[in-house]
Amino acid sequence: KQEVTQIPAALSVPEGENLVLNCSFTDSAIYNLQWFRQDPGKGLTSLLLIQSSQREQTSGRLNASLDKSSGRSTLYIAASQPGDSATYLCAAPSHTGANSKLTFGKGITLSVRP
Amino acid sequence: GAGVSQSPSNKVTEKGKDVELRCDPISGHTALYWYRQSLGQGLEFLIYFQGNSAPDKSGLPSDRFSAERTGGSVSTLTIQRTQQEDSAVYLCASRRTTWTGAYGYTFGSGTRLTVV
């Protein structure tokens, strides 16, 4: 059974700081891993999808890496801004198969102070 | 459509009433998922539809919960005899499916259900 862990549960940083959000998963036989952002009272917005054949993906100031052998993924946010304040969720497939349902971590609530 | 559409966005119902939540996925996405997010909790998988295959209902918390997907498109999640513990945000997602896992989930904005 896939388990996804995100620690810490909350993080507060000053504006401009580079930061790394960590995600660990127990079952490494995954086709991909996805990072999402959730603003208060809103749905989930997909940030990055990393396929198992890739080691990282980049979108603007965001960079996500995937290390299947160690069961870890990281989301790197460069030059953080107050608008980055949100909850960041990592999700990995629940079982082997390209179209598996996802198991989510509980998320990291990020606060970027002006 | 351009995104996953859910309705209503908010629903307040009395305990014991039935409710229906609707999800309209992205056109061409064969996979559709329902999740639930209770206050302060993580996302809980409910049910998964993939094409014409039998749905994966393994996450439904009780027999009061059911879902259907008509014509491989719109899905309706029905909760019968609602209880206060059913209060949560119900999120729907769709996905274009391949054998390579090259496509991720797209979520709707959710339906916030409050049972009073």
- Residue pLDDT, tens place only, A48-91: 999 888 889 999 999 999 999 999 999 999 999 999 999 999 99
User: Is B7 in the A-facing interface, judged by CB distances under 8 Å?
Assistant: no
The whole-number pLDDT of residue B1 equals: 54
Residue B23 · residue B32 · CB < 8 Å? yes
Could you give the CA distance from residue A108 to residue A23 in angstroms, rounded to a whole number?
Answer: 9
Binary contact (B33, A93; C-beta < 8 A): no
Residue A101 · residue B48 · CB < 8 Å? yes
Beta bridge partners of A51: A32
Enumerate the residues of chain A whose CB falls inside 8 A of the CB of residue B90: none
The whole-number pLDDT of residue B91 equals: 96
CB atoms within 10 A of CB A66: 25
- Nearest CA of chain B to the CA of A93: how many Å? 10
Per-residue b or e along B19-29, where b marks 16 or more CB atoms closer than 10 Å to that residue's CB: bebebbbbeeb
3-state class (DSSP) for residue A61 = coil
The whole-number pLDDT of residue A97 equals: 60
Enumerate the residues of chain A whose CB falls inside 8 A of the CB of residue B100: 31, 51, 98
The whole-number pLDDT of residue B100 equals: 62
Residue bearing the bigger pLDDT, B19 or B52: B19
Query: What whole-number percentage of chain B has pLDDT above 90?
Result: 72
The whole-number pLDDT of residue A54 equals: 87
